[in-house]
Amino acid sequence: MDDQLQKFMFSSAPVRGEIVSLRNTWREVLTRRRYPAPVRDILGEMMAACALLSANVKFDGTLIMQIFGYGPIKMLVVQCNSTLEMRATAKFSNDLDAEAPAAECPGFAELLNASGHGRCVITLDPRERRPGQQAYQGIVPLKGESGPLQSVAEVLEHYMRHSEQLDTRLWLAANTERAVGMLLQKLPGDGGIVPHAGEHDADTWERVCVLGATLTQAELLNEEPQTLFKRLFWQENVQHFTPVVARFECSCSREKVGSMLKMLGRAEVDGVIDEQGQVEIHCEYCNQRYEFDPVDVAQLFAASGVATGVTPAATQRH
Ligand SMILES: [Zn+2]
């Protein structure tokens, strides 16, 4: 089924998994902006991964996955909240050929980490912040022990191993139609990520990873999740959980943009009014335009004695 995330658990060992297929959620991102093929595919893989990670953590708030690139791609960002409402956007160099087929384009490391300084940042921003509470943030470079990482899946496996101490495998794929992914994770409690000799579950983890490794990108993109699941794990005893529905949803609003303008300050905003006659803010995620004319701006600052909104986090500009 499309736009659904299915969690499952193997009965024979503390190994859990998730499979997600985004179709409309992903198309909503693509209809709002044109991305060159390699940017699109990486963003789509991040979209699937963000849903998988978001559903994987018990947390009420928004998971923000960012990759800061030093190469033709400058930044990719995907956000997903606890109810799988998602949005995504990317910044990239105009030199990237929008028409070139993906096969002729530079690879992940070249696009994002030409200088070796690229990094991935995962932020957990709680829905209700207690006073003084900071968002949790984990950062990993786009290189591993044996050199530059070559895919979104490799980066996140590296992240999970180093930041969360969880042995995790990810399979991700995206094209113009779908963003698809599968996650397998060995839960702690039986020796963590280092299996002990003779440990009863070591075989299960190894076995399901070997089965997962047989998945091809074409299978991921062309088959329904249930078909894939049956094909891979038909011999395993698996408990399925109720699927969760994902959808595109941008959290921007006129009120949030107004709060952001107030943070900029009257002088700054008046400067823009003097220059351009009005302030026009454009949401990078959903393309919505917000216009504030001189009267709107006067009202905004006249009302500024009254708290009208929550201070947005640096990563959630509006
Ligand atoms: Zn928006």
The answer to whether 109 and 149 have CB atoms below 8 angstroms apart is yes
Closest to 17 measured CA to CA, from 205, 223, 222, 193:
205
Q: How confident is the model at residue 190, as a pLDDT?
A: 54
Q: How confident is the model at residue 201, as a pLDDT?
A: 57
Q: How confident is the model at residue 192, as a pLDDT?
A: 43
Q: How confident is the model at residue 21, as a pLDDT?
A: 97
CA 19 vs CA 161, 172, 182, 245, 273: distances in Å: 20, 10, 4, 12, 49
d(CA 127, CA 59) in angstroms, rounded, equals 9
Q: How confident is the model at residue 128, as a pLDDT?
A: 85
Distance 315 CA to ligand 1 centre (A): 13
Q: How confident is the model at residue 102, as a pLDDT?
A: 64
Distance 37 CA to ligand 1 centre (A): 23
Distance 302 CA to ligand 1 centre (A): 26
Tens digit of pLDDT at every position of the chain (318 positions): 789 999 999 988 889 999 999 999 999 999 999 999 999 999 999 999 999 999 998 889 999 999 999 889 999 999 999 999 999 999 999 888 777 766 777 889 999 988 888 999 999 999 888 888 888 899 999 998 888 999 999 999 999 998 888 999 999 999 999 999 999 999 886 544 444 444 455 689 999 999 999 999 999 999 999 999 999 999 898 999 999 999 999 999 999 999 999 999 999 999 999 999 999 999 999 999 999 999 999 999 987 654 444 444 444 445
The answer to whether 318 and 282 have CB atoms below 8 angstroms apart is no
Distance 260 CA to ligand 1 centre (A): 14
Distance 130 CA to ligand 1 centre (A): 25
Q: How confident is the model at residue 200, as a pLDDT?
A: 56
Distance 25 CA to ligand 1 centre (A): 14
Q: Mention every residue, 6+ apart, whose C-beta is less than 8 A from residue 15.
A: 9, 184, 185, 186, 187, 201, 204, 205, 208
Distance 86 CA to ligand 1 centre (A): 11
